[in-house]
Chains A and B, each alone.
Chain A
C-alpha cells in the first residue's frame, strides 16, 4: 500500500520487521536460557552425542541466527509486499554470514525492498513473460544486484561498525558503563514505548544478536520503572496523606501495575498525559539511575522482553531486582515530592474524561488519502 506514497516511511518498515521478529527473539532467547540453566551448550558436532539441554541451546542459537533474515525479509515485505520476502531472506542470510548482524539485515532489507518495488513499478515485460516477473526476474535480478553489493561494498563498513560497537560496549567499565546505562535507561523510559524508546530498544536487540546482553537488561528495567515508580508514589501519597492522584488516575494505576509486571510501560500513559513534565522527569530519572546500576553491575539478559517473568534467566537476578528497586523508588519519591497536592474538588473533577483532557493533536500530520 505504500507503493504510491512519496514519503519513504522508513520507520514503518522497520517496525513491521520488528513485529515479525519479536516472537522469534523471545522464543529463541528463552530456549537458550532454559538450555543453559539445564547445563546445556551449543552442539558443534551433530555426529557426536548430545542431550536435551544441548538441543535446546542449539535451537535457540539457530533461532537467533534467523533474526537478520527475518528483519531483512520483514523490511523488504513492508516495502515491496510479497515479492520482497524471498530476496529479503537471502540478504539477511548474507548479513548473518559476514557478521554484519542486525544492522546489515536492516540495510539489506531496505536496499532489496526498494529495488524490488522499483522493478515492480517500472520494468515492463511482454505479456508472455509476465509470469516470469515475480517467479524469476525479480528474485534473480534483485538478489544478484543487492547480494553483490552486500558482499563486496556495503557489508564491509557495517561489519566494522558492528565490531566497533560490540568492542566499545564490552570494554566499558566503571563510570563509562554507568553513564551508558543512564543514557539507555533514560531513553527507554522517556516516551513510554514511543519512538525514542524504540530506538533504544532496537539498539539493545541488535547488541543481543552480537552476544552483548547488558543493554537488554537496561531496556527491560527501564520499561518497568515507570509503572512501578508510579505505584510507589501512589503508596507514598496514601501513607503520608498527600493526595496527588484523582480517582480516575488511581484506577489507571491499578491497571498500570500488572501491565508493568509484564513489561508493558504504556499503562503509565494516562498518568503522564495529564501531567507530562513531572511524570516524564520522574520516570526518566529513575530509569536512568536504575539503568546505570544495571550496567555498572554487569547484569545481562538473554531475553529481550517478558518482564518479571524472565528475570530468573538473567545473569544476576538479585542484582537486577536491586537496580529495578532503586530506579522505581527514585521515580516514586520524585513523583511524590513534585506532584501537586490535590484539593477534594480536584479529586472529583478530574474523574471525568473528555476531549479537553486529551493531548493536542497536530491535525496537519494526519494523512488523508
Chain B
C-alpha cells in the first residue's frame, strides 16, 4: 500500500505531529509507504507533492478541523478520521481501511 495523508488538530502544536508520527510508524511496520503532511498552527509542513498523491492508493485525513488543499485529492479514495483515533490505534485504522479497499 502507498498512502498519503494530512494531519491537523485544533491547537495545531501537538496532536497534529503525534498523529503524523503514529501513522508513519504504523505504516512502516506494515511495510507500506506513507507521506503525511501537517497543517499546524505554524502552517503547512512536509507538503505532499502531486506525484506522491497520484501514486497513492488512498488518502488518510487525520483531522479535527477544516483543512486546506482538499481539491488535490479529487478522484482519490479519501478516508477521514480524527487525530485521536490516529494516535490511539494507527495500525488498526490502516488495516481497516485496507480491508475495506479490497472488498
A interface residue numbers (CB < 8 A to B): 1-2, 12-13, 15-16, 18-19, 22-23, 77-78, 193-194, 198, 259, 264, 266, 269, 273, 305, 354-355, 358-361, 363, 365-369
Contacts and interface: CB of A to CB of B under 8 A. Distances in A.
Q: Which 5 A-B pairs have the closest CB atoms?
A: A16-B65, A355-B91, A358-B89, A78-B66, A363-B96
A193 B11 CA distance: 10
B70 A1 contact: yes
Interface residues of B, number: 32
A264 B14 contact: yes
Interface string B1-33: 000000011111111001000000000000000
Contacts of B56: none
B48 interface: no
Given A12-B65, A367-B79, A358 B96 contact: no
Contact of B14 (A259, A363, A365): A259
Contact of B85 (A16, A361, A369): A361
A18 B11 CA distance: 8
Interface of B: 8-15, 18, 41, 64-66, 70, 77-81, 84-85, 87-93, 95-97, 100
Contact of A19 (B41, B81, B97, B100): B41
Contacts of B12: 19, 22
Nearest to A362: B85
Contacts of A19: 8-12, 41, 65
Given A264-B13, A366-B93, 8 more contacts: A13-B66, A15-B64, A19-B8, A264-B14, A355-B91, A358-B88, A368-B78, A368-B100
Contact of B15 (A1, A266, A363, A367): A266
Nearest to A364: B96
Q: Is the interface of A mostly helix, strand, loop or mixed?
A: helix
Of listed A19, A193, A305, residue having the most chain B CB within 10 A: A19
Contact of B79 (A15, A259, A264, A366): A366
A258 to B, nearest CB: 12
Contacts of B10: 15-16, 18-19, 22, 198
B89 A361 contact: yes
A361 B93 contact: yes
A307 to B, nearest CB: 12
B92 A368 contact: no
A15 B88 CA distance: 20
Contacts of A193: 14-15
Contacts of A361: 85, 88-89, 92-93, 96
Contact of A358 (B11, B14, B92, B100): B92
Given A1-B70, A264-B14, A363-B96, A273 B84 contact: no
Contact of B80 (A264, A266, A354, A367): A367
Contact of A366 (B87, B90, B96): B96
Contacts of A18: 10
A351 to B, nearest CB: 16
